Structure 1
Amino acid sequence: MKWFGRRQKAGTMRRAETPDQAHLKEFVQTRQGVEGFVEPRTAVTEYTLLLVAIDGEWTRRRVPSVQWAHNFLNKLGIPSYDAAVVGYPPRMREYNARMKKNGLP
């Protein structure tokens, strides 16, 4: 199993989910209308997966690859998009504005 360049030794038990995977799965399972936006690798960040719920609440975590992100979402029945192609949903900006207006992070 390969995760961020580390290969697991032969004969060892496969690890359970990473904390990032667990967080992404928990977000999907506890929010409604979640969509996934796979963000490309840049000079300063690895590939990331942005999840946005129907109310605009969002979370972002690093992922090993674009293919991994799409496969992860497909297994959960969540629509996935390439953020560089489709952009971000307006509800995400609206959510951020509401949080800022209410003095929340």
Structure 2
Amino acid sequence: MGIFSRKSRSKSSSQATGTGSKEAQAATVTHLKTFIAGHPGCEAFIEPPTRVTQTTMVVVADTGEWTRRKVPDPVAARKLATQLGVPAFDVNLSGYPSRMREWNETHRKGL
């Protein structure tokens, strides 16, 4: 069973959320692997689903630079973080790291 597999999900519901296709899954894993390889000290922060968005995972580097991708659920996000070799945190419990906010402040568009 792959990281993005869910026994309870039907094929159509997975495709509707955008993480169901093998291409989308592969693109997510490739993007995160590339980001982690190019940025030392990465950590993953798992964001819970809301009424508007599904579960997402934010990967933050030592520098504060970050990237966000959709994942099927928190369990899949933790498995993916383990596969990628980065620690994973529940953002509701830990919050975002200050280095991420600092990076956002210094890299705002239009300044």
What are structure 1's unaligned runs of at least 5 residues?
8-14
Query: Partner amino acid for 2:63?
Result: D
> Which structure shows the higher helix fraction?
2
Q: How many residues align?
A: 98
Inter-CA distance 101–64: structure 2 relative to 1 (3 Å threshold): closer
Give percent identity, aligned residues only.
39
| Residue ranges of structure 2 left out of the alignment (5+ in a row) | 13-21
Equivalent residue for 1:91?
A: 99
Counterpart residue number, 2:15: none
Counterpart CA distance in 1 for 2:10 and 2:106 is 39
Q: 1:9-24 alignment to 2 at 5 Å? A: 15=22, 17-24=25-32
Matched, 1:58 2:66: yes
Residue 76 of structure 1: aligned partner: 84
SS in 2 for 1:44: coil
Paired letter, 2:55: Y
Q: 1:54 to 1:46 in 2, by over 3 A?
A: same
If the length of structure 1 is used for normalisation, what is the TM-score? 0.80
* Higher strand fraction (1 or 2): 1
Question: Normalising by the residue count of structure 2, what TM-score does the alignment of the two structures yield?
Answer: 0.76
CA distance in 1, matches of 2:30, 2:46: 17
